[in-house]
Structure 1
Amino acid sequence: MNKILLIDDDPELGELLSSYLGDEGYDLESCCTAQSGLKAFKKGDHDLVILDIILPDLSGLNVLGKIRAESSVPVLMLTGKGEEVDRVVGLEMGADDYICKPFPLRELLARMRAALRRAFPPPLTEDPSVPPLKGQLRIGNIIVNLDTRSVLVNGEPTHFTAAEYCIIELLATNCGKLVEREKLMESALGRSADFDDYVLNVHMSNLRRKAGSSVSIKTIRGRGYMMTARNQAEA
C-alpha cells in the first residue's frame, strides 16, 4: 500500500481525501501546517507528497525546498487558478506536477498514479517484440543508467526528478530522432496529449539546465524535441 502525505491547511480536504484514497488502496497521512508536515515527512516513509502552496506558517515552496534537499519523493502541488508564477517556481524547484483547486478527485488520483508509476515503474513484462532496455545509454557526456534510473553528467551524478528522468530516458533512447510532444506528454508525464503542455515546458527547461553543454536538446518547433551528442549537433 502506497503511503501518501498531504500537507494542506484544510482539514475537510484531509478527511475527504483520506476516505477517498483509502477506498483506492492508499494510506493517507494528513497535516495542516508546514512544520507538522515536515516533521511527519522526516518520520515517515512516504511514497508521494501532496503539497499545498499556501500554508499558514510557511510557504509550500519553502517546504518543497526542504523536501528536495533530502529526498526525490514525487511531489504533487496544489495551487489556485491564479498562482501561475508559483506553479512555475515549484516545477523549477523539483515538483513533479501540479493540480489546480478545486479539482475532481478522479483527476487527482490519475496524477498521483502517473507520478508513482514514474518513480516506481513496474517490472517489464516479457514481450518478444519489444527488446528490454538494460545497461547504459551514452549520449555525448551524459550517461543514463537504465537499471538504477540515474544520470551522470560529465562524469558527475546529477539529480533528476522522476519526471525529468522519464523525459531524458525517452530522448536518449531515441537519440538523433524526433520525439513528439504528445509522446513525451503521455509516456513520460502521464498526461493526455490534449492537456496544456505547460508542465513539459518547465521540465524541459530544467533538463537543459542540468545537462548543460554535455548534449544538444533541440526544439523542433510545433512537433517535439531531439537529443543528440554535441559533436553531432555541430556537424
Structure 2
Amino acid sequence: MSSRPTVVMVHGAFADGGSFGPVTSALLDDGVQVVVAAGPNRGLVTDAAYIASVVRRIDGPVLLVAHSYGGAVITVAGVEENVVGLVYLAGYALDQGETIAELQGRFPDSPLVEALVFAPFALDGTGEAGIDVSVDVARFPEIFAPDVDPAVSRLLAVSQRPLAQVAFGEPAGVAAWKSKPAWGVVSSSDHVINPDVIRFGYERAHMKVTEVDSSHLVMFAHPAEVVGVIREALATTTS
C-alpha cells in the first residue's frame, strides 16, 4: 500500500494560511491530506521550532510547502525525520548559518523596501518591545499581488500577519535541502523579493525549478502551476 505524504503548508510574512486558499482547495479535491499551519511569524528560530512540532504530530511522511519567508522556516524545520520533500514558492532557501538579510544583501533591493511599515509590540508584558514589520496597506496590492483580483488583494492588505523584525537577522541552524529533495517556483515578476535572490538559493540547492510570470502571490495568481509542482513532488515522494 502506498503512503502519500501529508502536505503541510507554511505561509510567509504579511500573510496567513488563507494565502494558500486556491491551492489548498485543489489538493483537497485530489484527496490529499493537507495541514495549513498557522506560523507565529515571531522569528526564524521560534517559527521553525513551531512548524517542526506540527510535523512531529503527523503520523506518516510529510511534504512541506512554503511561501516567501516560510521558505526560510522549512529550511530549518525540514530536517524532521518524517519530512520527505520541500517545495518552495518564491521562498528563501537559506544555507546553514545564513540569514535572510545576508542572502538578500547579495542583490539589489525590491520595491517592497520603500513600502515597509515598522511598529513596536510588547514582549510578554515585560515592558520590552519588539518591532513588527508589515506592508503599507495602500501599496500592498500593487507590490504584493498586482495580478490578483483587486477585491482579494484589498482584503489581504488589511488582514496582514506582520513579521517580527528579528527574523531577518536570525541564521538558519541547518539547511534541510542538503538532505531532502526540493522543488522551487520562481515568481519572475516578483516585487516583494528580487527574483534573483530566489534563483540563487534554488540553484545552490540544486532544486528542480519552475519559473512562472507571476507576482509574489503566485498561489493566487497561478494556482494551477503551483498545484502541478506539488503534485510532481507528491508523486516523487510517495513510497
Q: TM-score, normalised by structure 1?
A: 0.41
Whose RCO is larger (CA < 8 A, sep 6+)?
Answer: 2
Higher gyration radius (CA): 1
